[in-house]
Amino acid sequence: MTKLADMAKLIRSKNAGPFSLTIDIMFADQTNYAKVKHSGVIHPAFISKLYRTDINHLKIEFFDAGHAIKISFPRPTVSGSFKDADVFGGQQYGPLVDLEF
């Protein structure tokens, strides 16, 4: 099995405004992209559990032409608020890098 970090060209997370986060997973080739896409792992039920977010507010988009996956969901706390530990949302991709395919 291969870790997502070794399959993807780039895995990043960032704010999508003060109330939302987005995670981008980009691949250099169709082979690795298709393997991840068709594995069923990047699925709303799994992602909502992993990130402890409501499945009804989660959006996953697969961009076949660009070999990319975009995951968006509400931030657990508003960016920059007292309880926020990651103002720019740049560290939220962490739980995905060790997924194995």
Domain boundaries, the chain: 4-76
pLDDT of residue 88: 95
At residue 55, the pLDDT reads 97
The pairing of beta strand 20-26 with beta strand 59-63: unpaired
CA distance 58 to 44: 7
pLDDT per position as a tens digit, 37-91: 999 999 999 999 999 999 999 999 999 999 999 999 999 999 999 999 999 999 9
Predicted confidence at residue 73, as pLDDT, reads: 97
Tell me the backbone φ, ψ of residue 14, rounded to 5 degrees.
Answer: -165, 165
**What CA–CA distance (Å, rounded) separates 35 from 38?**
5
Fold of 4-76: Alpha-Beta Plaits (3.30.70)
For residue 30, report the phi and psi dihedrals to the nearest 5 degrees: -65, -35
Say if pTM beats, i.e. exceeds, 0.85: yes
2: confidence class by pLDDT, cuts 50, 70, 90: very high
